[in-house]
Amino acid sequence: MKYTHVIFDLDGTLLNTIDDLADAGNHVCGERGWPVHTVAEYKLMVGNGIPKLVERFAPPGTDGETLAAALAEFSTYYAAHSEDKTAPYPGVPEALAALKEAGVHMAVLSNKADAIAGPVVEHYFPGLFKAVQGALPGVPTKPDPTLLRRLMERLGASSESTLFVGDSGVDVQTGKNGGLAVCGVLWGFRDRAELETAGADRFASTAEELRQIILE
């Protein structure tokens, strides 16, 4: 087995969350009289955490106090509707189960708030991950490698035998900043060109292809 440990991004990699995120964003926009956005536009806004998402869907020049209020509104709405349309990508639960059966140690690193990320992962993928690390107050988020390194320490993972898996340039940069090989998945929110530009080492078009890359 080439990789004994694999660290996954969450949104756009394991779970297709974009419709619920877009609905929550457009709910806030509608309530405030702001222009709404398409799902395709939201795919380009996500990846750097919810506060940054709110900043991106708000009109340019929105002041900090208004952004903070919009963030609170988004968080309340999303908490109540985060499972309306969200689902694992095709084949992902089966591939994860096969990897665990093969002895691969798996974890999740997300820019979702830590208090949210853990329950979300356990809800959709019960018992499959050894650890989940979300965003923490006062700690830089991906692509900064601080939380990645903490997670690897918790897992006892070495850089040589760990693969980072994600769907965006932010994910590729995170893995590279942590000294890891990175596999970009092509079913997520961003395209192959972004992953290539960021320097992904491998690419997977399906969950089964990803399983084969990990176990090769």
**Structural domain count, the chain:** 2
Q: How far apart are CA 135 and CA 133, in angstroms?
A: 7
Do 138 and 60 share a structural domain? no
Q: Which one has a higher pLDDT value, 216 or 89?
A: 89
* Co-location of 93 and 187 in the same domain: yes
Asked if residues 71 and 50 have their Cβ atoms less than 8 Å apart, the reply is yes
Residue-wise pLDDT tens digits, 14-37: 999 999 999 999 999 999 999 999
Give this prediction's pTM.
0.94
Q: What six digits make up the tokens of 51?
A: 């506060």
Task: Verify that 131 and 211 share a domain, yes or no.
Answer: yes
The 10s digit of each residue's pLDDT in 118-156 is 999 999 999 999 999 999 999 999 999 999 999 999 999
pLDDT for 2: 83
The residue among 81, 113, 136 that closes a domain is 81
11: DSSP letter: B
The pLDDT value given to residue 1: 66
Tell me, yes or no, whether 124 and 153 share the same domain.
Answer: yes
User: 178 and 142 in one domain?
Assistant: yes
Q: Does residue 140 sit in the same domain as residue 52?
A: no
| Residue after which a domain boundary falls, among 40, 58, 81 | 81
Q: Which range of residues forms the domain containing residue 69? A: 18-81
- Examine the domain organization and report whether 12 and 26 are in the same domain: no
CATH number for the domain including 140? Answer: 3.40.50.1000
78 token code pair = 């999303």
* Residues 188-213: tens digit of each pLDDT: 999 999 999 999 999 999 999 999 99
pLDDT at 83: 92
Q: Which residue has the tokens 């222009």?
A: 35
Q: Which CATH number covers residue 67?
A: 1.10.150
- CA distance readout (Å), 176 to 39, 148, 210: 29, 11, 19
* Shared domain check, 207 and 131: yes
The token pair that represents 208 in the structure block: 């089964």
pLDDT over threshold 70, residue 41: yes
Residues 42 and 146 in one domain: no
Whether the Cβ atoms of residue 149 and residue 125 lie closer than 8 Å to each other:
no
Question: Are residue 12 and residue 35 in the same domain, yes or no?
Answer: no
Report, as residue numbers or ranges, the catalytic residues. 9
Whether residue 106 sits in one domain with residue 54: no
Note the pLDDT tens digit of each residue in 56-112: 999 999 999 999 999 999 999 999 999 999 999 999 999 999 999 999 999 999 999
Same domain, 130 and 51: no
